Amino acid sequence: MKEDVPELAARAGAVLDAFGATPIRFVGGCVRDALLEREPTDLDLATPATPQDVMRILGEAKIRAIPTGVEHGTITAIVDGRPFEITTLRRDVETDGRHAVVAFTDDWREDAARRDFTINALSADRSGFVYDYFGGLEDLTHRRVRFVGYADERIQEDYLRILRFYRFSAWYAASFDTEGRAACAANVDGLARLSGERVRSELWKLLAAPRAAEAWRAMRVDGVVAGLVPQATDVACLERVVATGEGDHVTRFAALLPMMEAAPLDEIEDRLRLSRAERTRLNGARFDGLAARRALVAQNQFARALYGTPLLPLVDAVLIDSGIRADRAAEFARFASNWTSPRFPLSGNDFQNVGIKPGPELGALLRELESWWVERDFAPSRTDLLDRLAKIVQAGGALRA
């Protein structure tokens, strides 16, 4: 593994230039990911300069500055449309399990000490030299996720760190730290204090991880799942979905749920504050199950299965259906991601042109012809459909073969 990250400076050159001799470092996830040679997502920085000084420095450099979290010391700099969060070094004065009262400091180690895990407590200066106060480099090398300091204390500062422990372990660790797991299990009651939005955000990130199934199994054993979404217990189905390499975090969450009625789904929605789109997908996958459509997929009739139905709920339902071979489910998901629905060649005007007035008869006949077209894999042309329509009309509606 690398031990320095000089490449980060090139990504934030304008910000670093603006600070001149004022100390500033990259912190947190961007340092961790750069060391692992992964593409960093957010470029966060820290400085002993006060928020007011940061605003002044950026203003003098004509860099747009937004006081996004100024009460907590965070200013967002915008350079060529890209945000850089710059936070004044802090120490915790008071915590209540959800929020922290902070004071500013000029001590880099003190700031690092308030972070959750050793691998997130790393910082790097503009030359790329990495500062490591708590053994984060060694933990990265050995694929360990450990709390900074005493695990119980860190969790009780913010109970969301329970979920973050399993999430980061699912992404970065070879196994689950024994001390960390014990502390999480001992503090599960604190999860009830967290908002649904914060819980959902962490669970979605966890479920996107390569070792999501292993993490969820550990969370079940440790009592975390029971304290959050006790219905989400089908780890075997989650393993199956993960193995296909298809779907997303919502698919994986649906895999954990049993076939259910609306009431339990309402409970889950309330706890996790699900969006309307997420609820629609869970309904399709685990409430009504889209049984007829799944049967078409099992028969290798992918296009017919997809036509006229929302794509994502069907893909979810297929991927978690143990009655459909995993390789076929994965093939269907890939097919669906590139599929464009064909357009039915006829319209209501075509029916009116042969004397059928708007109303139930027209609607029934349109649906009948559309079904005939779909059953033939969308092959009949507009001419074929008009010919069949004419024959049905001539036969007084009796033609059905």
396, with CB counted inside 10 A (0-12, 13-18, 19+), is exposed
Q: Is residue 117 part of a domain?
A: yes
Examine the domain organization and report whether 136 and 240 are in the same domain: no
Pick the last residue of a domain from 300, 319, 341.
341
Dist. CA 41–CA 28, nearest whole Å: 11
Examine the domain organization and report whether 117 and 159 are in the same domain: no
Dist. CA 170–CA 33, nearest whole Å: 15
Output 180 or 93, whichever has higher pLDDT. 180
Q: Is residue 400 part of a domain?
A: no
Mean pLDDT of 189-218: 96
Per-residue pLDDT reduced to its tens digit, 98-143: 666 788 999 999 999 999 999 999 999 999 999 999 999 999 999 9
Enclosing domain of residue 14? 1-142
Angle between helices 235-244 and 249-256 (to 10 degrees): 150
Task: Give the model's pLDDT for residue 97.
Answer: 60
Examine the domain organization and report whether 276 and 298 are in the same domain: yes
Token reading at 149: 């300091």
Q: Give the angle 381-387-390 at the CA atoms, nearest 5°.
A: 140
Q: Which residues contact 85 (CB under 8 A, 6 or more apart)?
A: 42, 44, 45, 68, 74, 75, 76
Nearest in space to 120 (alpha carbons), one of 106, 130, 105: 130
Q: Kindly give the pairing relationship between strand 123-124 and strand 74-79.
A: unpaired
Query: Which of 17-26, 153-162, 278-287 has the weakest average pLDDT?
Result: 278-287
Question: Distance between terminal CA atoms of the chain?
Answer: 69
Examine the domain organization and report whether 16 and 130 are in the same domain: yes
Task: Give the model's pLDDT for residue 399.
Answer: 46
Kindly report the CATH number assigned to the domain that includes residue 161.
Answer: 1.10.110.30
**pLDDT above 60 (res 236):** yes
Query: Which of 226-240, 258-272, 351-365 has the weakest average pLDDT?
Result: 258-272
Q: Give the angle 6-89-107 at the CA atoms, nearest 5°.
A: 90
